[in-house]
Amino acid sequence: MTRLFNDPAAFADEALEGFTAAHRRWVRPVTGGVVRATATPAGQVAVVIGGGSGHYPAFSGLVGRGLAHGAAVGNVFASPSARQIHSVATAAHAGGGVLLMYGNYAGDVLHFGQAAERLAADGVETRTFAVADDISSAGPEESAKRRGIAGDLPVFKAAAAAAEQGLPLEEVLRVAERAGARTRSFGIAFSGCTLPGADHPLFTVPEARMAVGLGIHGEPGIGEEALPTADEAARLLVETLLKELPEDVADPAGERAAVILNGLGSVKYEELFVVYRRVAALLGDAGVEIVDPEVGELVTSFDMAGISLTLTWLDDRLEELWRAPADTPAYRKGALDAAEPDLARASVTAAAQDTAVPAAPVVPAASDASRGAAETVLAALDAVARVVDAHADELGRIDAVAGDGDHGIGMRRGSTAAHRAAADAHGLGAGAGTVLTRAADAWADKAGGTSGALWGTILRSLGTALGDRDAPDAARVADGVTDASAAVRRLGGAEVGDKTMVDVLVPFADALAAATAEGLSLADAWDRAATTATAAAAGTADLLPRRGRARPHAEKSLGTPDAGAHSLALITRAVHGALLDHH
């Protein structure tokens, strides 16, 4: 378990602060993460990586020459927000465009995609690439749905080395695609991980058993087997990966591979070496030439006791990039000439931050009617934060049945931050629309992950609909909820029946629109729609998930409602109470 922490909610920020203080030779802090402390040649493509905290040395520890130009760092097991990613990428950009790289998780896909759109709007040419190497999370026919685990490193490394050679953005992207297509990983675990402040692990493994095919966010394995010896574990890992070769590799004999035996947090280096001796022998027996193997902690999951094996099948070009030198806080290879510190950029960033800190926040002008409505919005957001806090543990337990168990934690972070930002905006005289959009940004920033992106979208859609000019009537609120429903489906790609929050949001929006069209007051229409939402959330217990981290464990979730759907239903009912008090 994680024993040394202060406020669990501040753990990720404090860890990043300590990391940058310890590694000033390589990195400097920027809003949302870190960038290289050394100068980047003008016109070089910037490779910006990122993901949640709890996986060190991924992602901040991989920033430095020969590897990433910057890393956006999210909260514990939660993707960084689009604003954080945009900030890091802007600081890392050297004029050659930006390649955003991350593991293939729904929250990361959403936030990095939004950041790419914002960068493009700024005139920065941007591409994205999601690493999807975990063969246990989807079959070969659905490889695009696979999770990104320790295969992040060789794919990041290939793209970054190509960028260091001065290749243009499209060619750097093609290198990433080639490396990703030839990378496979598979993992096992003997115990789950425990998040800072939690009193139990996200999943448990029975005595003398191991979980097979797990992720790096506390997701349980896809199965269990008897606890193996080190040699038996090595054989399972190697034989599983050799069963699935890249399309252009017919036989492993005579092929070259970059090999990573990765410790997930609690397995000691000596144990890894015992396993690796057998991994190397088995690959040698299969005729595989091992190139620059890595044995150690490369992509972790807090204190999870587990290991994973990654094979990247090399051609001449990928081998050149894999062998290329790199110098980062946590990964070093070969030798590089001395680098000049990036003093110019550092001073510009520091000056910008210094001038930004004392500036008082400015809110758009608002009518008295809209400021009055903002009081109701603030009360509703207070009710949201309170109901989420009261049910956070329950939401975590529901999420842990087939997911990673962090839904309650993420919702608590997001709703608390949203209420705080809304209160600040209201105190400055903001209207209802601005109060909601400030809350939207805060929720997305602090929660991260899929829920952060989607709730940020919901609140922003409502804020846009309400505006700051008039007192919103029931019909306008219903229109905003309808817009939010459409935006969430467009952004997340889910539809009714996928066992997500959409299974509640769509019927809630439809019921609210119908009730307001009948002439009901907002409080009465919301009451009817909230009843519909509660029934819809309960109905998700009968569904199998088709999206998100629960999808690989679909059967386990039967009989349990979706955590996101359940939290949305709780929130709709809590908001109704606030509407009754302020109508």
d(Cα 417, Cα 439) in Å, to the nearest integer? 7
R_g (Cα) of the chain, nearest Å: 24
10 Å CB burial of residue 270 (0-12, 13-18, 19+) is exposed
End-to-end CA distance of the chain: 47
The bridge status of strand 223-226 relative to strand 209-212 is antiparallel
Q: What is the DSSP letter of 494?
A: -
Calculate the alpha carbon distances from 413 to 148, 242, 449 in Å.
24, 42, 11
Which residues does 214 contact at the CB level (< 8 Å), separation at least 6? 136, 187, 188, 189, 220, 221, 222, 306
Which residues does 121 contact at the CB level (< 8 Å), separation at least 6? none
**Could you tell me how far CA 470 lies from the centroid of its own chain?**
37
User: Can you read off the two tokens belonging to residue 579?
Assistant: 């509407």
d(Cα 482, Cα 459) in Å, to the nearest integer? 12
**Could you tell me how far CA 481 lies from the centroid of its own chain?**
25
User: Can you read off the two tokens belonging to residue 534?
Assistant: 């509660």
Question: Which residue out of 55, 86, 111, 217 is catalytically annotated?
Answer: 217
Angle between helices 82-92 and 106-121 (to 10 degrees): 50
d(Cα 55, Cα 108) in Å, to the nearest integer? 14
* 62, 54 contact by CB (below 8 A): no
* 46, 99 contact by CB (below 8 A): yes
d(Cα 54, Cα 405) in Å, to the nearest integer? 14
Active site residue 419: no
Is 565 in a helix, a strand, or coil?
helix
* 341, 28 contact by CB (below 8 A): no
The bridge status of strand 126-131 relative to strand 33-36 is unpaired
d(Cα 279, Cα 236) in Å, to the nearest integer? 10
d(Cα 272, Cα 300) in Å, to the nearest integer? 14
User: Can you read off the two tokens belonging to residue 373?
Assistant: 């409505």
* 503, 539 contact by CB (below 8 A): yes
- What are the start-end ranges of the H helices in 100-196? 106-121, 152-164, 169-181
3-state secondary structure 423-475: HHHHHCCCCHHHHHHHHHHHHHHHHCHHHHHHHHHHHHHHHHHHCCCCCCCHH
- Active site amino acids: 217
